[in-house]
Chains A and B, each alone.
Chain A
Amino acid sequence: MSPWLRLIIYLVAAPIVGGLLAGWDRRISARMQSRQGPPILQPFYDVFKLCQKEAIVVRRSQNFYLFFFLLLVIFTGGLFFAGSDLLLVVFALTLAAIFLVLGAYKASSPYSFIGAERELIQMMAYEPMILLTAVGMYMVADSFYVHDIAKHPALLVLTLPGIFVGFLYALEIKFRKSPFDLSSSHHAHQELVRGLTTEFSGRGLAMIEIAHWYENVFLLGWVYLFFASSPVLGILMALLVFGFVILVDNVFARLKWQAALRSAWAVTVVFGFGNIVVLSLLRGHPTPPPAAAVLPAALPAQTSAPATPTSDLPT
């Protein structure tokens, strides 16, 4: 499949799949609490409604930041599904999150301030693990490009089990699910109002919602990459991971931010970094870089440069 086709499929299908996943999430959560739960299409109803509501803003520019948040999340997923560089994907993802934080800061309300600060802490917590995931995949597949990694003949998870566990941990934070729903949560009313999203209403809130759909699909796409050599297993595992995240959401209470940060870094060091150390020991010494290629180009310049002045010297 050509990268452009994959990109277009992502742009069209991701909000639909993401919305359905969000609907399932609420339904399954309700069933876990022995409730009936809302219809599967509920997230779409919510977004349609939000688009028709009056938009109240504290500052007009706050929705401008949100627009860039949405745009960059779509861009991140687009890069990923078009098979581009994983590092670039990670940086685009970070930039997107930064725009959301800026939007929340712009609204200058104490609740959205707390939400924004906690979001920054969360980013500090998951960012190293996400980067190590990219590095680990590079070490196995010898390329940062998603389309090369996807073509790797073996299951990546077999050589990267630690990285996979660490990535799952980062995923819990990224999905804003229960042990780590510090910055904005459906359940955190009493202490935070709605944290990061407190001051957004109407269309702005709908944009955040749609951005999350795109983001979730992108993150599950990354889970798929661990199992890319067997597509059926990959899709199955992506759905299983999503189910696992919902289960954890319903089982755990919220952590304090200190605990979230410490545990995330501990997991990163033990599982993520440990996996990479083991991997580099197993692989032995990496092949020396082709440094010799640079030398021939430099040589003629060195020989010709002193040649000219010497010929002009009077003897």
Chain B
Amino acid sequence: MIGFKESPWILHYDASSCNGCDIETLACLTPLYDVERLGVINTGNPKHADIFLVTGAVNEQSKDVIKNIYHQLPEPKVVVAVGICACTGGIFRDCYNISGGVDSVIPVDVYVPGCAARPEAIIDGVVKALGVLEQKHLEMAALANCIDRVVYQRADRADAPEILALQKVAYQTEVELYGDDSLPPLQQTLEGLENDFDRHPAQEVSGLDAAAGRPPDEADRMVFIKAVVNGKIIGSVRCYAIGDTTHLRRMIVHPYFRGRGIGRRLLQEVEKAFPHSRRFEAKTGHRSKRGHFQLTKLGYRQFKTEPFTPAVTWCYFEKERTPQPHH
């Protein structure tokens, strides 16, 4: 496919440090190196860029800027960390205000070490990034083309790493909505998520079975449902029943696949997975209008709100199962 390899538009940001790599990056544009012969344009606008080129270590001031810029780049995008400070924090790593390399804030695809990184090395890094960019594009296109063949299945423990990765990607939009990157879904560890597969929330609530030493009821186990395209998980929801109420938690859909009915199908799958439940309950943050819209469309209605953190207020939604009409 022509396009991505021939036309990389770069956005260049200098996070901190000594500006050496910054100057070397601009040297790439000079007649001696002339990166424009590769189709490179140094744009000043994240919305036009494909490659996000960061120099310097990340400090408290540049942290938010980097995240902000990263979210404004349209997909597919690639991040190149230029210079040892951008790779690891370099000699500034132990400073009180430095959080480390660029990868301590956003995912980095290509690392170009050096102090300062030479223009030749930077051009090499950009060329390498082109390969990554094209691969990301192919993945995106392949996934988008088979959207009508989504499979909905129960997930198991082995899916935990993939679901966790998806969760971190999907919740990025929530981070932007609430301006808070300490949301619990982003803090969850792999271990924590794996343990979720063995949780029996009904038992945790009553505490009776455990006290009596009885083995937990298999029907109470937390259920993970996943939406799979081409063997890749693009959406998931977890749910558990307490009494005759099923609780829905953390419905996530990959950003590429939103607005295509996957979330709605996941909610319907939950209803199928708990045939004996009479009531379904979900909660979302107050600003997640997309979630509100989806739930209302499926017959849920909001019945209470509850403050959670200063940034987030929970909105609770419920739905009674309507009896199936007999034919």
Residues on A close to B: CB < 8 A?
26, 30, 33-39, 42, 45-46, 48-49, 51-56, 186, 188-190, 193-194, 197-202, 205
Contacts and interface: CB of A to CB of B under 8 A. Distances in A.
8 contacts: A36-B34, A39-B37, A45-B7, A45-B39, A52-B3, A54-B74, A56-B72, A198-B47
Contacts of B6: 39, 42, 45, 49
Contacts of B4: 49, 52
A201 B47 contact: yes
B2 A42 contact: no
A17 to B, nearest CB: 20
B41 interface: yes
Interface in B22-39: 31, 34, 36-39
Contacts of B36: 26, 30, 35-38
B37 A56 contact: no
A33 B75 CA distance: 33
Interface in B1-29: 1-4, 6-7, 9
Contacts of A52: 1, 3-4, 137, 141
A30 B141 CA distance: 34
B31 A34 contact: yes
B302 to A, nearest CB: 26
Contacts of A30: 34, 36-37
Given A35-B31, A36-B34, A52-B3, 12 more contacts: A26-B36, A30-B36, A35-B36, A38-B38, A45-B7, A48-B7, A188-B44, A189-B44, A193-B44, A193-B45, A201-B74, A202-B74
Given A49-B4, A53-B50, A35 B34 contact: yes
- By Cβ-Cβ distance, the 9 closest A-B pairs, closest first, are A189-B44, A49-B3, A45-B6, A54-B74, A201-B47, A48-B3, A54-B75, A35-B34, A45-B7
A143 B171 CA distance: 64
A194 B37 CA distance: 22
A42 B37 CA distance: 9
Contact of B3 (A45, A188, A197): A45
A8 B31 CA distance: 41
A56 B7 contact: no
Contacts, number: 83
A182 to B, nearest CB: 16
Interface string B73-92: 01110000000000000000
Given A36-B34, A45-B2, A53 B44 contact: no
Nearest to A46: B7
B11 to A, nearest CB: 10
Contacts of A202: 74
With most chain A CB atoms within 10 A of its CB, the pick from B4, B41, B48 is: B48
A39 to B, nearest CB: 7
Contact of A37 (B34, B41, B50, B141): B34
A42 B39 contact: yes
A179 B139 CA distance: 43
B39 A39 contact: yes
Contacts of A194: 43-45, 48
Nearest to A49: B3
A251 B34 CA distance: 19
Contacts of A193: 44-45
A199 B7 contact: no
Contacts of A46: 7, 9, 39
Contacts of B141: 52
A38 B74 contact: no
A49 to B, nearest CB: 4
A49 B50 contact: yes
B31 A56 contact: no
Nearest to A201: B47
B13 to A, nearest CB: 12
Contacts of B42: 189
Contacts of B47: 56, 198-201
Contacts of B3: 45, 48-49, 51-52
Contact of B74 (A34, A36, A55): A55
Contacts of B37: 30, 35-39
Given A33-B31, A56-B74, A38 B39 contact: yes
